[in-house]
Amino acid sequence: MAKEPGRLGYFITFEGPEGSGKSSHCELLGRYLKDKSYKVLVTREPGGTRTGEKIRRLLLSTDNKDMDPKSEMLLYMASRSEIVREVILPALKMGKVVVCDRFLDATFAYQGFGSCIDRNVIKVLGDFVTSGCKPDLTILLDMDIEKGLKRSGRNDRIEKRSLEYHRKVRRGYLTLARQEPGRIKVVRVDGDLNQVQEKVRRIVMGNLGRWK
């Protein structure tokens, strides 16, 4: 993959259903890459900025259980616009490896496949708010829905949705992976944290090696 003009860094995202361990693997990978002397920024979506964190609280609060799916999708896009402008693009221009817990694929999976919002609309809005910024590599942590929800605790508004909703989200993620196998690498969460992280590191280091 050729580097975009003015972009020196490398953009890695983690995706997956609830309870798949994205946050833990983002932090572990970030520390590992720093030990390898990479300049690294670890962040998350929704959130990652002052405005984004406020939006995150709105989105995940069980007080807002009746939020319209279109409003939900637009709030995710608003948070994404902030983090791309304030955090991700500046870090990439500085040559950093950016590791982000969720990005645009999550909106396709959750609001597109899960809530049946027109995915063409999501694509147009996604391209607009990201200024075309796209991950170089996406790690999709895949696991059984029931097991993942049990691990998550089902505490926030999204986690509390039905099993069928979460099954549609997982199917959506796997569909995205089949559509973009060069970017999206599926890692099955079928061992302990360290075993799964070792799989992640092998994929990441292989791709970073080709990038450099």
Q: Give the Cα-Cα-Cα angle 138, 94, 39 (nearest 5 degrees).
A: 65
Identify the pLDDT of residue 34.
Answer: 97
Identify the pLDDT of residue 211.
Answer: 72
Identify the pLDDT of residue 154.
Answer: 87
Torsion of CA 153, 155, 160, 164, to 10 degrees: -30
Identify the pLDDT of residue 161.
Answer: 95
Protein fold of 10-211:
Rossmann fold (3.40.50)
Residue 184: how many other CB atoms lie within 10 Å: 20
Identify the pLDDT of residue 4.
Answer: 54
Identify the pLDDT of residue 119.
Answer: 98
User: From first to last of its 212 residues, what are the pLDDT tens digits of the chain?
Assistant: 445 555 689 999 999 999 999 999 999 999 999 999 999 999 999 999 999 999 999 999 999 999 999 999 999 999 999 999 999 999 999 999 999 999 999 999 999 999 999 999 999 999 999 998 999 999 999 999 999 999 998 899 999 999 999 999 999 999 999 999 999 999 999 989 999 999 999 999 999 987 76
Verdict on whether the full-model pTM lies above 0.75: yes
Which residue type is seen at 145? Answer: I
Identify the pLDDT of residue 6.
Answer: 56
Identify the pLDDT of residue 1.
Answer: 42
Written as six digits, the tokens of 179 are 């559509």
Domain definitions of the chain by residue range: 10-211
Tens-digit pLDDT profile for residues 146-155: 999 999 988 9
How far is the CA of 97 from the CAs of 63, 91, 201, 202, in angstroms? 36, 8, 14, 16
Q: How far apart are CA 6 and CA 3, in angstroms?
A: 8
Identify the pLDDT of residue 39.
Answer: 97
Which ranges constitute the DSSP H helices of 7-138? 22-35, 50-60, 69-83, 89-93, 104-107, 119-130
Closest CA to 107 of 80, 134, 146, 89: 80
Written as six digits, the tokens of 28 are 């572990």
Cα distance from N-terminal residue to C-terminal residue, the chain: 10
Identify the pLDDT of residue 191.
Answer: 86
